[in-house]
Amino acid sequence: MQNEDVWLVVPLYDEAAVIADVVGEARSVFPKIVCVDDGSRDGSAERAEQAGAAVVRHPVNLGQGAALQTGFDYALGDPSMRYVVTYDADGQHQIHDVEVMLERIRQGDVRVVFGSRFLDERTEAGTMKRLVLRAAIAYTNLTTGTRLTDAHNGLRVLHRDVVERLDITQNRMAHASEIVSQIGAMRFEDKQVTYAEEPVHILYTDYSKAKGQSLWNAVNILAELIWR
């Protein structure tokens, strides 16, 4: 079957209202999905399972970084896995973007493809949020030796070789920069670990904004980076 070498890793926390639709749409293209339920209290895990995803549960909320690491470990248990896609549970990512990113990484000249909302002319983020996120991106680029236009987008495609070497210890907002930092370090050790960016369209719905896609969330990202 198509895309049998791909696992979608979906951190899941209190998304019962939308997760069945997110999983159902994704499974029409990608049959292997693992949702890491990070201590949800609203039946998210059950709805994800009913929609056809594998579900791994954290008994308490540990944070998105911890959920991603758990999902990576689960996907690595499948010897046929070649690529991991990190994918948000709130419906803001587009399956078509994943297909384009996978087509890019399957060419074989890069090991990581980052999604960038700032390369997409349809991006709807407000001016202040753009400014704060760009400050966070500049800080991440300065401290990781990378050159990205969007370091805190949850949509990524990672080759198995990279997933095997990632070790996420930042459980909260700083985990995205930690991923970039570790990939930057891999590039110095192994010239084959190269990366690319692809434009992605993020849907900023009222629901996703209420779940944390606000200006205040962008400020928190920047503050946590500097504090770390």
Residues 190/110, Cβ–Cβ less than 8 Å = no
Give the mean pLDDT of the chain.
87
Contacts of 142 (CB under 8 A, 6+ apart): none
Assess contact for 219 and 133: CB atoms under 8 A: no
3-state secondary structure 89-105: CCCCCCHHHHHHHHHHH
Of 168, 18, 187, nearest to 93 by C-alpha is 18
SS3 54: strand
Tell me which residue has tokens 């990781």: 144
Of 192 and 99, which is predicted with more confidence?
99
- The answer to whether 9 touches 87, Cβ cutoff 8 Å, is yes
| Domain 6-227 in this protein, CATH class | alpha beta
List all residues 6 or more positions away from 22 whose beta carbon is below 8 Å from its beta carbon. Answer: 10, 15, 89, 90, 91
- For the question of whether the overall pTM of this predicted structure is more than 0.85, the answer is yes
Q: Give tens-digit pLDDT for 7-18.
A: 999 999 999 999
- Domains of the chain by residue range: 6-227
Please enumerate in sequence order all residues whose Cβ is within 8 A of that of 80, keeping only pairs 6 or more positions apart, or say none. Answer: 4, 5
* 139 Cβ neighbours under 8 A, 6+ residues apart: 222, 225, 226
Q: How confident is the model at residue 216 (pLDDT cuts 50, 70, 90)?
A: very low
**Per-residue CA distances from 178 to 140, 166, 200 (Å):** 9, 9, 21
Which residue type sits at 95? I
pLDDT in tens, 51-68: 999 999 999 999 999 999
Residues 6+ apart with CB under 8 A from 62: 38, 39, 171
Q: For 125-166, what is each residue's pLDDT tens digit?
A: 556 656 666 666 676 667 677 888 887 889 999 999 999 999
Output the six-digit token pair for 113. Answer: 């493809």
Shortest CA distance to 68 belongs to which of 146, 201, 163, 147? Answer: 163
Give alpha helix (H) positions in 2-89. Answer: 19-27, 44-50, 64-76
